[in-house]
Structure 1
Amino acid sequence: MRWGWGFAALGAIAISAPASAQLSKPEKQIVKTVEAGFERDVALLEKIVSQNSGSHNHPGVKAVADMLAPEFEALGFEVEWIDQSAAGRAGHLFARHKGKPGTTKMLLIAHLDTVFEPSSPFQQFTREGDRAIGPGVGDDKGGIIVILSALRAMKAAGTLKDANIVVAMTGDEEDAGDPLEAARADLIAAGRWADVALGFEGLSVEDGKDFGVVARRSSNGWKLETTGTSGHSSAIFRDGTSYGAIYEMARILDTFRRELPEENLTFNVGFMAGGTPAVMGEDQLSASTVGKTNIIPSTAVAAGDLRTLTPEQTERTIAAMQAIVDDNLPGTDATISFDIRYPPMAPTDGNRALLAKLNAINADMGLAQMEEYPPSRRGAADISFVAPLVKASLAGLGPDGRGSHAAGESVDLKSFTRQAQRAAILMGRLVKAKVD
């Protein structure tokens, strides 16, 4: 596949270009339409944020989807609710727009659910000038509003007509359904269809500067169990006597700490327990134990996460962890298992070329250039499932938010305008990009 907007065409652009200096007439219309629709966008944001849609509140997730479906249908999209009850979740809302054959196929990704279940005391939307506060206001209901604002502006400017777009809004991004293969099957199918994937979770901003997200790390889990022959503590360390499960656990975890660190890799230990015996809870999020100080402990358990930037780094780290686990202390044994959940969105030339295209738009709009955001500072996201399948992907296209996943989560409402304008112009230019 050859992209008409190849790397050479994305050369240096003057950062100081005046606003709208290089924008076409339709693009100038996009800028005006987004600005004119600001209060409408905020009103819709309030409406969907005020409806609780915690990942496990299935009726609430469906209610948000029902609010959004007419918005997409009014723009000429075919809307589909994809039931996910078999995976233990509510479902996904997909909206599809069929445009001109042969143009760039774009997959826009967001999510309907939040981390705030009905039991959370944080439920209310409030507005304080250009700041909005509420559960999921940035992550990721704000991202959905950016998508809609951009698409409305494209329609008004005439650039939506030829666009081939699928908007995938998952209902379980914050706590994916099980089995994961079923929960993400429709998203992955859309990724196989698409040329480009655009993720509309929050914009990365530091010290007043906007950044582009060309990479995100994986999110995987691991569980570790160590065993040792129990006996009287007075015999510990003697030849032929077990060192016990806790010393073996400590050896492994400390060797992880000393030998594994490298750039863009983290491996947290979330919890652990050791004794005679120690047992992992049925929820896999807790452990219990009993024991005595004069008994060599028989069992220890621990669980944590593993975050990497590339599949190769994942494989290499797993192999190194396994080798450490297998080098047992006398009289002990250990086993480790891995739960591969969210893959990484690795940095690629295609992703960087897409950011360069966005930076050309920034220059044309009189905005500062966006540098690459360090992937170690971003968590996993649904775009990672499709990033290996498309020619290019770019994340962080949602609004500028603060305090995600915590009471008081907020967004800068002014950021909705520039994010929707950027996204609409980018998609309009991608429609014109030749794909062979």
Structure 2
Amino acid sequence: MKYLFLFLLVSHIVSAQSLSKPEMGVIATVKKQMPETEAFLGKVVNINSGTLNKEGVRTVGKLMSDEFDKLGFKTEWVTLPDSLNRAGHLVATRQGKKGKKLFLIGHLDTVFEKSLPMDPFTRVNDSTASGQGVADMKGGDVVVIAALKALNAQKLLDDTSITIYFTGDEESSAGPESRRDFIERAKKCDIALAFETAQGLSSVTTGRRGSSGWTLNVKARTGHSSRIFSDLGYGAIYEAVRILNEFRRTLGQEQYLTFNPGLIVGGSEVHYDEKTAKAETIGKTNIVAGTALVKGDLRFLTEAQKENARTKMREIVDKSLPLTKATISFVDGIPGMEPSAANDELRKQVDKLSRDMGLGPVSAFDPGARGAGDVSFVAQYMPCLDGLGASGKGAHSIEETMNTKEFPLLIQRAALYIYRLTR
């Protein structure tokens, strides 16, 4: 036990010597501010801000905007056309001449719409807090705010160039028009840092998969079920099943590629409502199905992987069973964030910082284990890093939690990383 104590003491002294006096001051400030930081987190978690709850998203945005105002940022609300049915985005900026120009990314919305039961912020125990969006990603937004507050208290934000962009529809994007301003502002910066959920202290995200959608429509001859396999052919449902199974057989083992058929309906008639994502079908067991509809998503790491998959899926669709005709269409969503040497260089910087803080090494998180995110929209223009927010488990579920022991350490690391990049 005596030797363990001496080892920990020496490790602390060595790590402390690796940090500058201003950096030690930032860490002390983060620790001092933690009660108010956690209180603010609880406040925003307790406001429902499901993507379609525009009032809730704006309310959370106003609370965060007020915090940025206090820090000397210029804040504005980016409105979107009414036709998109989204609340808009919060932007906070400051211009200076020191270091890199940073683009910090978060989002105000959650997957929990107002129609769902409210799960308030709750301290489960000394290491866990729960609540809607507590980790994904109100905890990440608060990491940004608390880190900047600590830097500001130490006069370390002076003459820096930082743009903070918290979107209002990350969980259900309104499409390219909703990200036009986001991309244009990012292009004026040098580095993008995104504060989606961290996978603990030992990894960050240098690459993440993109997401797009596809729709399969199948038409076939219909009539009495006794004539299936003969003069009526195979019907629409058999053809849909053939295609889906061939997708799985041909593409199902490719690394980083997934394609999920999330909805399938078939029968004599099919009606699908895009706005409500609801389908209705009419059919009888003694009638060969004349139509089938399948809707799914396609996730990929690179644009080349996406296009190759689409080509193979089209080829499979074209090989129709007798007397059936299928078509497939694709719609782009969020691009992939391809791992790059520039992104890994950012990871190496975080790795050094983490070691300097005595927190240990930082590796690149498996890109196949992450979904799509806003950072991917700007990944082609600059080096990017993600997974810098709060750590937790159970995102997008009633079991979502945040690790409260790692929370202050992640704030400290974020603050010091911003400090080092802006020197």
The TM-score bracket by the shorter chain reads over 0.9
- TM-score by length of structure 1 reads 0.90
Counterparts of 1:320-339 in structure 2, within 5 Å, are 320-339=312-331
Among residues 125, 142, 146, which one is paired with 1:145 in the alignment? 142
Letter in 2 for 1:116: F
In the TM superposition, what is the alpha-carbon distance from 1:131 to its structure 2 partner?
2.2
In the TM superposition, what is the alpha-carbon distance from 1:414 to its structure 2 partner?
2.0
Letter in 1 for 2:273: G
**2:97 aligned with 1:100, yes or no?**
yes
Among residues 141, 158, 172, which one is paired with 2:155 in the alignment? 158
In the TM superposition, what is the alpha-carbon distance from 1:16 to its structure 2 partner?
9.7
Alpha-carbon contact 1:27-1:157 (below 8 Å) kept: no
Query: Take 1:118 and 1:241, find their aligned partners in 2: how far apart are those partners?
Result: 48
Query: Take 2:63 and 2:142, find their aligned partners in 1: how far apart are those partners?
Result: 12
Letter in 2 for 1:429: R
In the TM superposition, what is the alpha-carbon distance from 1:122 to its structure 2 partner?
2.4
Letter in 1 for 2:143: V
Counterparts of 1:414-429 in structure 2, within 5 Å, are 414-429=405-420
Alpha-carbon contact 1:223-1:301 (below 8 Å) kept: yes
CA 1:284–1:247: 2 relative to 1, 3 Å? farther
Residue 411 of structure 1 aligns to a residue in which SS?
Answer: strand
**2:27 aligned with 1:35, yes or no?**
no
| 2:3 paired residue number | none
| 1:122 paired residue number | 118
| 1:191 paired residue number | 186
Q: Report how many residues are paired.
A: 410
Identity %: 42
In the TM superposition, what is the alpha-carbon distance from 1:306 to its structure 2 partner?
0.6
Query: Take 2:280 and 2:55, find their aligned partners in 1: how far apart are those partners?
Result: 35
Query: Take 2:273 and 2:63, find their aligned partners in 1: how far apart are those partners?
Result: 39
In the TM superposition, what is the alpha-carbon distance from 1:355 to its structure 2 partner?
0.2
Letter in 2 for 1:202: T
Residue 272 of structure 1 aligns to a residue in which SS?
Answer: strand
Alpha-carbon contact 1:135-1:407 (below 8 Å) kept: yes
Residue 305 of structure 1 aligns to a residue in which SS?
Answer: strand
In the TM superposition, what is the alpha-carbon distance from 1:289 to its structure 2 partner?
2.1
Alpha-carbon contact 1:243-1:329 (below 8 Å) kept: yes
Query: Take 1:335 and 1:312, find their aligned partners in 2: how far apart are those partners?
Result: 22
Alpha-carbon contact 1:203-1:210 (below 8 Å) kept: no
Unaligned 5+ residue runs, structure 2?
Answer: 1-10
Residue 134 of structure 2 aligns to a residue in which SS?
Answer: coil
In the TM superposition, what is the alpha-carbon distance from 1:282 to its structure 2 partner?
4.4
CA 1:293–1:117: 2 relative to 1, 3 Å? closer
Question: 405-414 or 316-325, which moves further after superposition?
Answer: 405-414
Query: Take 2:275 and 2:60, find their aligned partners in 1: how far apart are those partners?
Result: 29
In the TM superposition, what is the alpha-carbon distance from 1:158 to its structure 2 partner?
3.3
| 2:173 paired residue number | 176
CA deviations over 1:280-317 (Å, ceiling 9, x no partner): 23446232222233332211111111100011111111
Among residues 45, 48, 57, which one is paired with 2:44 in the alignment? 48
CA deviations over 1:118-167 (Å, ceiling 9, x no partner): 22212312223342211111111111110011112222333321321100
Alpha-carbon contact 1:52-1:123 (below 8 Å) kept: no
Among residues 62, 80, 91, which one is paired with 1:84 in the alignment? 80
Among residues 56, 61, 69, which one is paired with 1:73 in the alignment? 69
CA deviations over 1:73-126 (Å, ceiling 9, x no partner): 11111001111243211111100011116x311100001111122222123122
Among residues 130, 135, 148, which one is paired with 2:132 in the alignment? 135
In the TM superposition, what is the alpha-carbon distance from 1:255 to its structure 2 partner?
0.4
Question: 246-255 or 82-91, which moves further after superposition?
Answer: 82-91
CA deviations over 1:160-214 (Å, ceiling 9, x no partner): 213211000111111122xx12211121112211111111111113xxx631111
Query: Take 1:149 and 1:59, find their aligned partners in 2: how far apart are those partners?
Result: 24
Query: Take 2:402 and 2:276, find their aligned partners in 1: how far apart are those partners?
Result: 34
Alpha-carbon contact 1:41-1:145 (below 8 Å) kept: yes
| 1:363 paired residue number | 355
| 1:8 paired residue number | none
| 1:342 paired residue number | 334
Query: Take 2:37 and 2:276, find their aligned partners in 1: how far apart are those partners?
Result: 41
CA 1:373–1:16: 2 relative to 1, 3 Å? farther
| 1:201 paired residue number | 196
Unaligned 5+ residue runs, structure 1?
Answer: 1-14
**2:265 aligned with 1:269, yes or no?**
no
Query: Take 2:168 and 2:55, find their aligned partners in 1: how far apart are those partners?
Result: 11
Counterparts of 1:396-435 in structure 2, within 5 Å, are 396-432=387-423
Residue 347 of structure 1 aligns to a residue in which SS?
Answer: coil
In the TM superposition, what is the alpha-carbon distance from 1:18 to its structure 2 partner?
3.2
**2:205 aligned with 1:213, yes or no?**
yes
Query: Take 1:288 and 1:167, find their aligned partners in 2: how far apart are those partners?
Result: 43
User: Which consecutive aligned stretches of 4+ in structure 1 deviate over 6 angstroms post-superposition?
Assistant: none
- TM-score by length of structure 2 reads 0.93
| 1:109 paired residue number | 105
Query: Take 2:346 and 2:138, find their aligned partners in 1: how far apart are those partners?
Result: 24
In the TM superposition, what is the alpha-carbon distance from 1:17 to its structure 2 partner?
8.7
In the TM superposition, what is the alpha-carbon distance from 1:252 to its structure 2 partner?
0.5
Alpha-carbon contact 1:211-1:370 (below 8 Å) kept: yes
Letter in 2 for 1:396: G
Counterparts of 1:371-410 in structure 2, within 5 Å, are 371-390=363-382, 392-410=383-401
CA deviations over 1:306-350 (Å, ceiling 9, x no partner): 100011111111111111111111111001111211111111111
Query: Take 2:103 and 2:35, find their aligned partners in 1: how far apart are those partners?
Result: 27
Letter in 2 for 1:366: G
Alpha-carbon contact 1:124-1:135 (below 8 Å) kept: yes
